[in-house]
Amino acid sequence: MVMPSKTPLSPDAGSEISPTIPPARVVAAPSAPPAELTTTSKRRTFTAKYKLRILGETDDAADTGGVSAILRREGLYSSALTDWRRQRAAGTLGALQPRQRGPEKAPVNPLQAELAKANAQVSTLRRRLDHAEAIIAIQKKAAALLDEVEQTPGRGGKS
């Protein structure tokens, strides 16, 4: 980006470059935006080990302002700390693990594999049946043609 100079040109400057006008400056754009200005935000996830470490630190920080200092240092809200304490009190270490967001997957039906196998077998048998019916139809037509050739008096069945 070129910034124009704010010094006006003198009318008698003509084709000469005035020594009082500073040269144009080129200002480079920043290579990457700062982390605070990214377009997509990402939800933070915390491991159970991290949560237990923070809970241990906040339990040890009994003096006034100690817990809030830990929360500021870690960039956490007190509501997260409250939720983690409830999960720890429930005794479920698995509850401290981050859960995958979105709809839950349906449980796999144990009969689904058997049904897929039966459907594959049915399609194979249908193909074989269609093939056999086509062969039978051709055999019937060949037999009809042979009967017709035998019944023709002039040919006698010889070429």
Rounded CA-CA distance 138/132 in Å is: 10
Per-residue pLDDT tens digits of the chain, which is 159 residues long:
555 555 555 555 555 555 666 667 766 665 666 656 666 777 788 888 888 899 989 988 877 778 888 999 999 998 999 988 888 888 775 655 667 778 888 888 889 989 999 999 999 999 999 999 999 999 999 999 999 999 887 655 555
> Which residues lie below 8 Å from residue 98, measured CB to CB, with a gap of 6+?
45, 46, 47
Rounded CA-CA distance 74/48 in Å is: 15
Instruction: Output the pLDDT for position 8.
Output: 55
146 neighbors 157 (Cβ within 8 angstroms): no
Q: Which amino acid is at 150?
A: E
**What SS3 state is found at 120?**
helix
